[in-house]
Each structure stands twice: as C-alpha cells, then as structure tokens.
A and B are shown apart, each in its own frame.
Chain A
Amino acid sequence: MSTITEPAAGSSNSPAPEGNRPARTPGGAFSAAQLAEALPGAFRKLDPRQMFHTPVMFIVEVGAVLITAIAIAEPFLGGPEASGGSEVPASFAWLIAVWLWLTVLFANLAESVAEGRGKAQASSLRQARTGTTARVIRDYAADTDPGALRASIAEVPSSDLTLGDMVVIEANGLIPGDGEIVWGIASVDESAITGESAPVVRESGGDRSAVTGGTRVLSDRIVVRITSRPGDTFVDRMIRLVEGAERQKTPNEVALDILLATLSIVFTVVVLTINPIASSSGVSVSVPVLVALLVCLIPTTIGALLSVIGIAGMDRLVQRNVLAMSGRAVEAAGDVTTLLLDKTGTITYGNRRASEFVTVGGADRRELVTAAAQSSLSDPTPEGTSVVELAVTEGFIRSAVEGTVVPFSALTRMSGVDFPDGSAVRKGAGSAVREWVAAASGIVTAELDDAVTRISQLGGTPLVVAVRDASGRARVLGVVHLKDVVKDGLPERFAELRTMGIRTVMITGDNPLTAKAIAAEAGVDDYLAEATPEDKMRLIRREQEGGALVAMTGDGTNDAPALALADVGVAMNTGTSAAKEAGNMVDLDSDPTKLIEIVRIGKQLLITRGALTTFSIANDVAKYFAIIPAMFIGAFPGLAALNVMQLNSPSSAILAAVIFNALIIIALIPLSLRGVKYRAASASSTLDRNLLVYGLGGIIAPFIGIKAIDLVLSLIPGF
C-alpha cells in the first residue's frame, strides 16, 4: 500500500533504497488543498476546552474575545479610548481583534495540517482492517489434529476475536488479527503494513511465526493463535499512532511547556502591572494595546507549533517505516549514547566472500586462480560463488569442467573435482587439505602456515587450495582469503556517529580474533565477541549503570529481554511477536542500520523545538522596541529615541507587531513539519550554528518584518 511510504504524494509503492532520504520525505511542503482540508478542524479547535491544553494560545484566545467585545462596545462608549497619550484610529480595536483571532486560527491550522497528514495514512490502513471474517476453530485439539483439518469451524467477524482464539487461514485469506502460527507454513503478503511487495514466508515454531492482522496469506494453510485483544491489534495501534489520538506529551515537551507557561506568567504580570505603575505619572494605556503587547511577548510561535513538531516527528518515523510505540522512545533515540549493532546483517553482508588469492611455495598465480575456481564451480554456497566471481576478475574464464565433482562434506571438510586424467583439485580447511597433500607425498611448506595464520589474524577464513597431477604428486598452490565484507559506507557513518557523541559496539558470535579484525575494519568503537544473549544483557546493564542510553535492534525471541532493557529497542518486523512486544519501536523494513536514522530523527525533533523556542523568545526584543515606545510616546516624547525602527505611528507600530506575530506562525509551519536540518557535528558547533540562525536570526528578522508591515499599514488612512 503506497500511502504508508509516501503519504503526501502517494506515488511510489515500494520503500526507497536506504540512505535515499529526500526521495521519500514529503518534508514540510503542504499544498493549498491540505490547508483547505485542515480549515474545519482549525475552527473546531477554537473550543476553549481544547485550547486550554495549550496555555499560551489560550491566553491569545481570551485576549481575542476581550478585544472583540471592546471593539463592539466602543462606539457606544464614545469611540476609541486614547492610549498612553496617543489617539488611536476607530478601526484599531477591530484590526487587533481580527489579527488575534487569526493568530489562534493559524496555530490551530498548523496542528490540523500535521494531523491531516497522519489521518491520510490512517484511513488507508483502516481499509486493510475492515470486513474480515475469521474462521475460528471450535475445540482445537493440538495433539490429534494440529492442522484442524477435521475440526468444526465457525465464521466470526474479526472484530469479535479475543485473546487465545484459534483461527485457520487458507490461501488468499486475510489474517484476521495479530497472532502466532501454531501449525503450518505460508507465504504472506505484508505490503499492507510494510509497503514491501515481495511476500515473506511465515511458519510455526522459531523466530518467524508472528503474523499481523490485515496481511494476506498467498499460499498454503496455517493455524494461528490470536495474541491481541479486539481493537488493539498492531494495525489498530498504528492507526491511533499516526492519527495522533494516542499522542501523549513527552517528558521533554512537558518540560518545555512549563518553561513556556512560566514565560507567559512573567509577561502577564509585566502587562498587568503596566497601568498601575504608569498611573504614577498619570498615564494610562488602553486595553487593546495591553493585550496586543501581551500576545506579542508570550511565546506564541513555539506555543502554536509545539504539538506540530511532535506530530511531525512521529510522522517522519512512519515515513521511514518505523513505528514508535511512544513519543518518549523517539526522544530517547536522540539521547542515545551507545549503539549496539549485530555484526551479521548490520555491519557485514552476512556471508563470507573471497577477497584475495595468496600463492605459496612459488606456485603460479594463474594456476592457483584456475584451481580455486574449478573446485568452486559446482559449489552453490555464497562462499563458493564468491570464489568464482573473484577468479573471474583475475582473468578466469568460466567453462564446463569435465570430471567428477567431490562435494563438501563434514567428514572431509573439502570440496573439489577429480579429472578424468587422474589429476584433481581440492579446496578446504587447512588441516584437511594438508592431510590430502601429505597422503599424496606432497610437501607442506612453512610458508603455508604463515599465510593461514595471517589470514586468521585478519579475521578471515583461509581456504587452502591444492592440486594433484596425473602422476599422483600433490602440492599446495595457495590460500583463498574468505572474509566478512563490511557494508559500503559504514566506517563513514560510524565516524559520523562518533562526532555526534555516540559509541558503537558490535555484537558477534565470532571469536575475539575475528571480531577484533572486523571491528577495526568497520570502524566501530568496541565489540563483544562470542556473545550470548546473557552477555548482551550484561553489556546493556553495564552501559546503563555508567549513565549511558543504549539503543539496539533485535528480532529473535532471545533478543526480547535485551530489547526491553535497552532504552531504545527496535524490533525487526520479521521478528517474533515477543521481540516486537519487548521493543519500543518496530522497523517494518527490518533494516538494522535504520537505527542510525532513528537517532537522527530523535535529535532533529529536539533541535526543532529548541530552535523555535529560541526564535520565539529572541523575537520579543524587536517587539518591545516596536510597542514600548508606541505605548508611551504621547506622554513621554523622549521615548521616541527607542523607536529605532522609525515606525509610522503608535497604532501602526502595535498593529505591525501583532500582524508579524501571527504571520510568523504560518511562515514556520513548513519548518516545523520538516524539522530543522541536522548535520552530524560536535555539540559545540551545532549550537553555534543554530544560535546564529535561530537566535541572531530571531532577533533580526522581526525588526525587518515589523518595519515592512508598518510601511504597508502606513498607507491606511488614520494609521
């Protein structure tokens, strides 16, 4: 289903290749159509009971109501009241009221747009869920009839399924709920969840037994035990997540809310005390002006966009096919200091590949290459194929080989070919080939030992190649270096992580020697060799005791305890349901390197919040310089010296500040949806950059903006 991967544009139907982020990120762009769609929601959100949850915007709404009332009453009370010794035009209160309402509306609109993007994803998910009929097995007998071939079956709507129900699904049937296969094997189309069109195999027992409601069985017949309650399946949870219905404020959001509320209280006190204090000089400021000042001072920009940033952060994860079970997990991802990565599949391709031919005893290189390739031609394993591929790059030409293929066996630990003329080639483990050579009265040189040892120390696996000529004499030609190949670009990514302050630890079942060599090649900071699940747990505990936050990926049931223990546990969607339950994120693409992406998104989320907070507070400087002189200039003409922007009149200055304050919300919606750019760099240089852009920029921008708006306003008669 395309909408998961590309919710806004809705065109591509398969996940983009890893590392190609811009292609699948709709980013902050939103269309006029989206705005129009979000508009009714924005008006609905004007309900004070809802507004109350964002105290900053609630203050603005109260102010808007108050000024509207004043604007209506003014004509009956003898026209607009002079403020701070300056006359104001008759339309002043009305214009302030309109722009305050717009400020609130813009904030609501931003939230509606963000939620709308989630809803689009949710509605397409919902289609996957509806209208399924489950075939429930009555009195399932696990011992006598595990396949439920003879049991009686009842048709029940999928919404009525409960925990522990046994259902049977046959080819082309929709899986009615999350569960575990207890019998059978089937290929399953999971594209509804993952967006990946290739079917996957699911079977009972082991780590591939979990199935997800809403996915389709393509072949065969399976019996599934339902493991979720009705309305609480994976898809249900996903819908609630993307719709934002389950959105709870994250710890950091709560903390930021408190800071914003504090600023609002400070400014409310400041504004409330202005008139009493001004009265000492016999000056009085009108209510619309005071409310305008208050609204400009309280951090409306971040107050309006705070929830948008949170929703958009979740959304960005979903676009990358990662489901976070809570916003808390996303935040924690930004704080991760230690990354545990499994070697196989994450750091290396998972299969050993031939990387080098080493001749010994003065053997001809060409002969070695040919012999190695011949002995591997009929070896279908990835290792065998890779030997041939490497040989081809060295000039070997593939051709059919006449002779008897000797397959690899655990007993001989060799494979090769016996040619009709009596000659033979063998490749295999060092000791086995050595015995074979010795048996044919060949000599094994010390040079071979050196080559074997060197390759072992490098973390590779040495395959010794030998030939026996037609006369029966055998000799060693050389060694093939098989090694774990580290994925392209990983050392760079790990270096990037290091500058971000994240330590990477490679987990592997290999012996320490091999582990060390691969760790060095991949550029990870540390490794855990011969690791058992218990070792993994111990490592996580040790890191956490040192205060580190640990992230890891896992898919097996034996990973579950570690996933639960880690601060960020990303379960692979191909994994068991135990793993998925234990982790706090699920990667639908089952790509372990995505952990790095998740960390970035977590950081980006926090940076965006910080950036808009800084911007919002920095804006106040210019707003003060616009409003304070305007407030009192009639009474104290000397304050004209503070009117550094040379604004046209007190009324136009105040209105310009209010309009700027409203428009900046709209202007920053794309940024809050897209998130601030994050480049891997040290904390100091990131701070420098962001302070320059959002701190200094936040001070300067409103000076320009307010002046420009004032120039336009000065064209209105009376201003």
Chain B
Amino acid sequence: MTLAAAVLPLLTVVVVLALIHRPLGDHMARTFTGTNDLRVERGFYRVLGVDPASSQSWRSYLTGVLAFSAVSVLLVYLQQRTQALLPYSLGLPAVPEGLGFNTAVSFVTNTNWQSYSPEVTLGYTVQMVGLAVQNFVSAAVGLAVAVAFVRAFVARRSATLGNFWVDLTRAVLRILLPGAVIAALILLSGGVIQNFNGFTTVATLTGGEQVIPGGPVASQEAIKMLGTNGGGFFNANSAHPFESPSPWTSVFQVLLMLAIPFSLPRTFGTMIGQRRQGYAILGAMAVISLVSFTAATLAELSAHGAAAQAAGSASEGKEQRFGIVGSVLFGSVSTLTSTGAVNSMHDSYTAIGGMLPLINMMLGEVAPGGVGSGLYGMLVLAVVTVFVSGLLVGRTPEYLGKRIGAREIKLASLYILTMPALVLAGTALSFAVPVLRADIDGTSILNPGLHGMSEVLYAFTSAANNNGSAFAGLTANTPWLNTALGVVMLLGRFLPIVFVLALAGAFAAQDRVPATAGTLPTDRVQSATLLVGVTVIVTALTFFPVLALGPLAEGLL
C-alpha cells in the first residue's frame, strides 16, 4: 500500500471538515439564537402547548429533557412488544422484555447498542417509526443540552437557559432533517439500498438458496451517522455492502459522523462572541483524535500478534474493500464520536489496536464526541482544567468570565465521576457476583481470560459513554447484560445531562467577570494543550489498572 493511499482518506476528511465547519457551525448558531419560527414549528408548539418565546429555568429545561426521553423509551418499548400487530412487521414476533428494554433505552440515549440482529428481530415499522425517529430526536436532545450550556456562558444574572421544546424542534427540523435528506440521497447514489422488499429468496450459483433482506436502509443510514447514533439496519452494520457498498461511501459516512461534532465548537465560539474560544476547544478535540487515529493505524499496520503475523497483515475482521487504513479510520472516528457504527470487527484488531477504540470511549466521548454531548463534555473538562490552572495564576478560577466556585466544581466533578464509576462497577459486578460470573463465562464470553475481560469492559465502556459499538465476540443478549447495560446507558446519558444543566443554571445566574491581563486566557495554544493534557491524564489515571489487566497484559504478553 502506498503512503498516498494510506493518507488520502484522512486528508479528504480533514479538507472537507475544514470547508464545512464554518457554514454548518454558523447555521447551527443562527438556528439556536434566531427568534423566527417556521410555520410547521408553530404548529408543533401549538400541539405541544408550548410558548416558543418563553425561556425555561435549568430545572424546567431538565424536566423537559427527562420527560421527553421517558416517553420516548416507553413508546419504543411498546412498539417492540406489539410488533406482531404492526404493519410491515415481516412476520417477526414481539421482542422479548429484556431485549425490548435494552433496545428502547439504547436508541433513546443515542447509544444504539444492539444486543440483537436487527434484520431478523425488527420489522420496518419499528425500525422507521421507533428507531429512526429516535435517531433524530436523541441527537436533537444532545444538541439542545449543549446549546443550553453554551447559553449559560453568554447569560448574565439570568435564571433561564432557553426553551427545550424550541431547541429540540429546531434541531430536528433545521439541522438533522435537511442534513439527513441530503446524506441519504448521496448514499443512495453510492449504492445503499432503499426499499420495502422484505426478504428476497434467491438461488445461488452453487444451487443453494439464500434469503436476502431488503429495507429502507439509506434513510436510516444517513441519520445513523449524522446523529452519531450508530445502530445499523443490519447486524453487520456498515461492514454490510447494503449499508456501505464502497470505499468512498465509507469515507462519506466518516464525514457524516464528524460533521456536527466538529462544527459545534464553531457554533459555541459564535454564540459566545469569541470565536477563538471555539477554536481552542476544536484544536484540543482535533489533536486527541488525530493522535488516537495515528496510533491505531500504526498498531494495525505493524500487525503485532501471532495470527496477524502468520497472515502477513492484521486483516482479520476487516473488509477488503475498505482495507486496513479505511477500517481503522472508520473504527477510530466511530468510537471518538460516540457513534458506535462499525465497518470492521474491533474484536479482531491487534491487542493494542483494539485498545485504542476502547480508550477513545474512555476519554468520555469528547474528541469530538457525540452530537451535542461531545461539546458539553469537553466544556466540563475545560471547567476542571481552568479550575486547576486558574489557581496556578493566583486567581479564583473563572472560565469565560464565570467563576468556578464550590457548586460549579461539585457539578463538574460529579459529571466526570459518573462514567468511570459506571464502567468499573459494571465490569467488576459481572465478574464478582458468582451467578453473574457463571452467566458471563458460560454464555457471553467467547474468549475467556484477558480478552474476555476486554470484551466485557468494552461493552460497559460503550454503554456508559453512549457509544454503542461492540467489541463483538460477546453475546450480550442475556438477562444480566441486557439489564445492566440498559441501566448503565440510562445513567451514562442522563446523569451527566442533569449535572450539565445544573452547572448551566449556576453559570447563567452569575455575572460575567471582565477579562484583564490577570485573567487566564483560554483561547490559546497553551490552554488547548492543557485541556488535552487534563483529558488524557484523567482518563489514564482512571483506567490504567483495567487496561493493564486487559489489552495491555494481552498485548505485552
């Protein structure tokens, strides 16, 4: 493979992102700061009984988020349980309770963890009315929370953060829907299927029979990527030729995943009126993601490990049409953005190469993270970074003119505490409780020992970070994993949202301290570097022991 072939996909992604992040970022800023409502939006508000001009307190905003999500979980669950009665069910039966709960939570939390094979479990109605709708609205919830948080930095002595229902509606109608339509058309032109054919039985060349599932794939694929959802129409996800037929559709899907998360810092900078602040955040995200991708690529290309060396390259689990670099690019971006879609099997990566997707998620999905959640996650890390570095310059720390006192640091700490606690507790319980251990060892784990631990660790990391990618090799459709991962997804999504909105409330209520020469600037290379450092060190200190017990021990064996 030539160097050009290795670098070209990445280069394409970087150039396109550089071109679109401004218009897209500014469009999003306009969307959330404008005062005009479209006619169709006004219709929605009338149905919901919402006054679009009213602004909500953080508690009220949070209530909106939680209520909307609770209703969503219920609706998706009921659709699955009554699947047999729904049209276009393809004759598939109702989804069992545990799996139904897990799947409903998974799509509402923007995780899209799939404990099942979609094409043989869910009919078209559930896929489109249940899951695809959640692909839109769960991403919109993330955007809304992020925007509310950004508004808190702009506000001065304000008790309100904006209107959740307006933010949600606008995010869907003005950002995600138009984006998804364009993306779906492009994917269609690339050969992604879109039909209602059900299962087609064909006679193969060898004379056997093969059942080929069809379905409305392109429409779902577009929002799956754009909304950093990741739940595939088919079990094989983007490795399936109907989801991503060619190398360029794969690169296009990578772009879709990155488009909104990498444009949001621009939105942030525009909304607070200090674009450089946005670029500092963007810079930190970009550095982390580039380093991670490079490390994963090098690990895969070096083909460490007996099997890979015997084969000549670490090609196991990767599609020939994407190649090693195309697979690693997709895998890195998918885990860096909390999408969780796969076009190769991360379980088959080399030990170190497989550790990087895991680390990408352990970073807390902030580089650039999911739609909305990446930005607010990174901003919370920025708050913690500024707290320590602010002390170092002899001032009560402040970020963007907002002082970081006891209440603020408490909320930021709780935010940061949540994810590691869920990952470690979930993994530990799976092995510590004898009954669960028996279930895990007996049913779930394909490869016992170090690699098996990595599989379970990966599952809980993916769930707690609302990523949804699976290490494969793990049978997750068991009562324990369905329940535990479901709960972890819920807590991993909504606890941080509670803390972020509370933090937003605290910041909005404050006045803004004017910047002086004694203020620590947060829009320079220095501060972005520090943010990268804190993000990496926090992750490293938290997860070093488990990584040593899993991928590191395996890779260094």
CB-CB under 8 A for A337 and B520, given A258-B410, A277-B431, A690-B392: no
Whether B396 pairs with A277 at a CB distance below 8 angstroms is no
In chain B, positions 449-472 with a C-beta closer than 8 Å to chain A are 449-450, 452-453, 456-457
Chain A residues near B431 (CB, 8 Å)?
276-277, 279-280
Question: Do the beta carbons of A278 and B410 come within 8 Å of each other?
Answer: no
Instruction: Flag if B526 contacts A684 (CB, 8 Å).
Output: yes
Could you say which residues of chain B place their CB within 8 Å of the CB of A636? 450, 553, 556-557
Chain B contacts with A in 507-535, Cβ cutoff 8 A: 511-514, 516-521, 524, 526, 530
Supposing A547-B401, A642-B552 touch, asked if A337 and B518 sit within 8 A by C-beta, the answer is yes
What's the tally of chain B residues with a CB closer than 8 Å to chain A?
A: 65
Highest count of chain A CB atoms <10 Å: which of B405, B530, B556: B556
Q: In the complex, A270 Cα to B390 Cα: how many Å?
A: 28
Question: Which chain A residues numbered 252 to 277 have a C-beta less than 8 Å away from chain B?
Answer: 252, 254-256, 258-259, 261-262, 265-267, 269-277
**CB under 8 Å from chain B, chain A span 615-638:** 617-618, 620-621, 624, 628-629, 631-632, 635-638
Residues from chain B with a CB closer than 8 A to the CB of A255 are 387, 404-406, 408-410
A349 close to B (CB within 8 Å): no
Interface assignment of B13: CB less than 8 Å from any CB of chain A:
no
Q: A255-B404, A684-B521 are in contact. Are A276 and B432 (CB under 8 A)?
A: yes
Interface residue from A262, A637, A639 paired with B552 (Cβ < 8 Å): A639
With contacts A251-B405, A255-B409, A501-B516 known, is A266 near B389, CB below 8 A?
Answer: no
Q: Are A251 and B406 in contact (CB under 8 A)?
A: yes
A335 and B395 contacting across the interface, CB-CB below 8 Å: yes
CB distance from A261 to the nearest CB of B (A): 8
Q: What residues of A have a CB within 8 angstroms of the CB of B516 in the complex?
A: 337, 501-503
Q: Write the B253-276 contact mask toward A (1 if CB under 8 angstroms, else 0).
A: 000000000000000000000000
Q: Does B160 contact A (CB under 8 A)?
A: no
Instruction: Provide the residues of chain B in CB contact with A546, threshold 8 Å.
Output: 514
Q: List, in ascending order, chain A residues with CB within 8 A of B524's CB.
A: 684
A258 touches B413 (CB 8 A): yes
Q: Is the pair A610, B392 in contact by a Cβ cutoff of 8 Å? A: yes
Majority SS of interface residues in chain B? helix
Chain A residues whose C-beta falls within 8 Å of the C-beta of B517 in the assembled complex:
498-501, 682-683
B129 interface hit (Cβ, 8 Å)? no
Is there a chain A Cβ closer than 8 Å to B545's Cβ?
yes
A-chain residues with CB within 8 Å of residue B185 when the two chains form the complex:
none
Q: How far is the CA of A252 from the CA of B398 in the complex (A)?
A: 12
Q: Considering the chains assembled together, what is the distance between the CA atoms of A283 and B517 in angstroms? A: 55
Q: Which residues of A contact B84 (CB under 8 A)?
A: none
Judged by a CB distance under 8 angstroms, whether B388 is at the interface is: yes
CB within 8 Å for A256 and B391 given contacts A251-B405, A276-B428: yes
A687 to B389, CA, bound (A): 7
Instruction: Check A270–B556 contact: CB distance below 8 A.
Output: no
**How does the 8 Å CB contact mask read for B377-404 relative to A, with 1 for contact and 0 for none?**
0000000100111111111100001001
Smallest distance from the beta carbon of A331 to chain B beta carbons, Å?
7
- Closest chain A CB from B398 CB (angstroms): 9
Given contacts A266-B542, A281-B450, contact A607 B392 (CB under 8 A): yes
Q: Is A233 an interface residue (CB 8 A)?
A: no
How far is A617 from B392 in the complex, measured between Cα atoms in Å? 14
- A613–B409 alpha-carbon span in the complex (Å): 15
Q: Which residues of A contact B404 (CB under 8 A)?
A: 255
* B7 sits at the interface (CB 8 A): no
A632 CA / B546 CA spacing, docked (Å): 11
Q: How far is the CA of A694 from the CA of B427 in the complex (A)?
A: 35
Binds B, one of A7-15, A164-172, A423-431, A598-606: A598-606
A570 to B457, CA, bound (A): 58
User: Are B556 and A687 closer than 8 Å at their CB atoms?
Assistant: no
Q: Is the CB of B420 within 8 A of A269?
A: yes
- Give CA–CA (A499, B519) in the complex, Å: 11
Chain B residue at minimum C-beta to C-beta distance from A691: B392
Contacts known (A269-B420, A337-B518); A613 close to B427, Cβ less than 8 A: no
Can you show 20 pairs from A to B with CB atoms below 8 A apart? A254-B406, A258-B413, A259-B387, A266-B420, A266-B542, A276-B431, A277-B427, A280-B431, A280-B449, A280-B456, A280-B549, A281-B549, A498-B517, A602-B394, A603-B393, A610-B393, A621-B540, A642-B548, A683-B517, A687-B392
Listed in ascending order, the chain A residues whose CB lies under 8 Å from chain B are 251-252, 254-256, 258-259, 261-262, 265-267, 269-281, 283, 293, 297, 331, 334-335, 337, 498-503, 546-548, 602-607, 609-611, 613-614, 617-618, 620-621, 624, 628-629, 631-632, 635-639, 641-642, 678, 682-684, 686-688, 690-691, 694
Q: Could you list which residues of chain B lie within 8 angstroms of chain A, going by C-beta atoms?
A: 384, 387-396, 401, 404-406, 408-410, 413-414, 416-417, 420-421, 424-425, 427-429, 431-432, 448-450, 452-453, 456-457, 511-514, 516-521, 524, 526, 530, 537, 540-542, 544-546, 548-549, 552-553, 555-557
Additional 6 contacts, C-beta under 8 A, given A254-B405, A632-B553, A683-B395: A258-B413, A277-B453, A280-B431, A297-B541, A611-B391, A639-B556
Please give me the 3 A-B residue pairs with the lowest Cβ-Cβ distance, nearest first: A501-B518, A610-B391, A603-B394
